[in-house]
């Protein structure tokens, strides 16, 4: 199969597309890929590292307020459609998949105009603007959360697949996770992470929380600050504690996140869709602190989906203090039955082989075109 992938801006849009490519490679050899991303997006750096052929177009998103920049965005969109058509004609894909972000707009729209089957994947409980627009043109819309199909009333074919990123973490080794952290196997690990860049509010709460933890009580706290916050946060923690105790592991970034997740007993994190897909695939209970600074407050909607199923506790940023965070963490860690129940609920949400379901739908679309 020849497939064009498009998605950009954040890892949450990029990694699901990469997961689909990896699933197709595993299922059948000889597949050919082209990833079309944005010149300015994170995908321009991440995708080549994944050894996927990459081409870029120049595109930006619309501002929600009236602005002359939106006129420039329209012009870039039209140029992006033209450039995408040229790339598609040259590559001759069987199907095109868009996984969100502004760059998908011209790519998927161009494919639909050329009669190439298209699928878009929505990671969040509340759809982004680009996918809402593209749902009128795509042949299939895939959603990550069951029950959110109704968010695309105009979609031709809306299916629940889950998030393809979940599939990539299920084989992760907890032993390697423990070893990379220098923590004895079988230890209870609480992982605190505010996303790839860190989160100032979570960092502040963690600094406030550590004095409440005491001597750790046999629990290892792995705290990922984000590279830009690492030095100042680590300094503040050492001042609070008079050093860095053996139960606290402060890191700027984690490069082997699937393995670290595999040895995690409880996670405190934001509520980005791809990360939620990973933790539910591994059945990890969570304390979710959704970012309030995202479009349509979609992270809270994501988090509430897990909370309703008993897999997570939601702590809003406006209520976030060191004491509040410590209380909710101790409530879960200190009650084995509650943690097990949350883990089972989390695992139940992540049990779908999402990447395989998306690939199956891509095959169906490609076969339909050939008839």
Q: Residue 41 carries which DSSP code?
A: S
Nearest to 297 by CA among 280, 317, 269: 317
- Apex CA 249: angle with CA 244 and CA 250, to 5°? 85
Check whether 147 is labelled as a binding-site residue. no
Alpha carbon distance 168, 344 (integer Å): 20
Give the neighbor-by-neighbor strand order of the sheet with 54-57.
54-57, 32-38, 2-6, 95-98, 118-122, 140-143, 158-160
Check whether 131 is labelled as a binding-site residue. no
Check whether 12 is labelled as a binding-site residue. yes
Check whether 345 is labelled as a binding-site residue. no
Beta-strand runs (E) in 91-181? 95-98, 118-122, 140-143, 158-160
Alpha carbon distance 236, 234 (integer Å): 5
In the block, tokens 């809306």 appear at 158
Burial class (CB in 10 A: 0-12, 13-18, 19+), 74: exposed
Check whether 280 is labelled as a binding-site residue. no
Check whether 167 is labelled as a binding-site residue. no
Nearest to 167 by CA among 320, 295, 18, 333: 18
- Apex CA 98: angle with CA 93 and CA 101, to 5°? 140
189-200 as b/e: b if 16+ CB within 10 A: bbbbbbbbebbe
- Report long-range pairs for 57-64 (Cβ below 8 Å, ≥24 apart): 57/83, 57/84, 57/103, 57/106, 57/107, 59/102, 59/103, 59/105, 59/106, 60/102, 61/9, 61/102, 61/129, 61/130, 62/129
Annotated binding site for UDP-N-acetyl-alpha-D-glucosamine: 10-12, 124, 196, 299
Annotated binding site: 10-12, 124, 196, 299
């Amino acid at each position: 199969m020849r497939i064009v992938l498009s998605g950009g801006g954040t890892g949450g849009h990029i990694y699901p597309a990469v997961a689909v490519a990896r699933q197709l490679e595993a299922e059948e050899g000889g597949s050919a890929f082209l990833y079309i991303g944005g010149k300015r997006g994170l995908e321009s750096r991440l995708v080549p590292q994944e050894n996927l052929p990459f081409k870029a177009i120049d595109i930006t998103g619309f501002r929600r307020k009236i602005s002359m920049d939106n006129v420039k965005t329209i012009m870039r969109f039209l140029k992006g459609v033209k450039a995408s058509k040229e790339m598609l004609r040259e590559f001759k894909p069987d199907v095109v998949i868009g996984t969100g972000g502004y760059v998908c707009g011209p790519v998927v729209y161009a494919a639909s105009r050329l009669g190439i089957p298209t699928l878009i994947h929505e990671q969040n409980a509340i759809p982004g603007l680009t996918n809402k627009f593209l749902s009128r043109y795509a042949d299939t819309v895939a959603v990550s959360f069951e029950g959110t199909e109704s968010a695309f009333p105009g979609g031709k074919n809306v299916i629940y697949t889950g998030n393809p990123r979940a599939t990539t973490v299920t084989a992760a080794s907890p032993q390697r996770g423990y070893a990379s952290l220098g923590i004895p196997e079988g230890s209870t690990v609480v992982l605190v992470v505010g996303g790839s860049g860190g989160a100032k509010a979570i960092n502040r709460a963690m600094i406030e929380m550590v004095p409440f933890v005491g001597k750790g009580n046999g629990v290892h706290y792995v705290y990922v600050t984000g590279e830009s916050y690492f030095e100042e946060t680590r300094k503040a923690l050492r001042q609070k504690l008079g050093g860095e105790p053996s139960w606290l592991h402060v890191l700027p970034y984690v490069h082997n996140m699937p393995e670290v997740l595999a040895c995690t007993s409880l996670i405190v994190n934001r509520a980005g869709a791809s990360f939620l897909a990973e933790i539910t695939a591994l059945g990890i209970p969570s304390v979710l602190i959704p970012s309030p600074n995202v479009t349509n407050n979609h992270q809270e909607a994501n988090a509430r989906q897990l909370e309703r199923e008993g897999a997570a506790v939601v702590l809003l940023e406006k209520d976030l203090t060191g004491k509040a965070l410590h209380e909710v963490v101790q409530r879960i860690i200190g009650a084995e039955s509650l943690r097990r129940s949350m883990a089972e609920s989390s695992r139940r949400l992540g049990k779908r082989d999402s990447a395989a379901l998306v690939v199956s739908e891509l095959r169906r679309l490609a076969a339909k075109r050939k008839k």
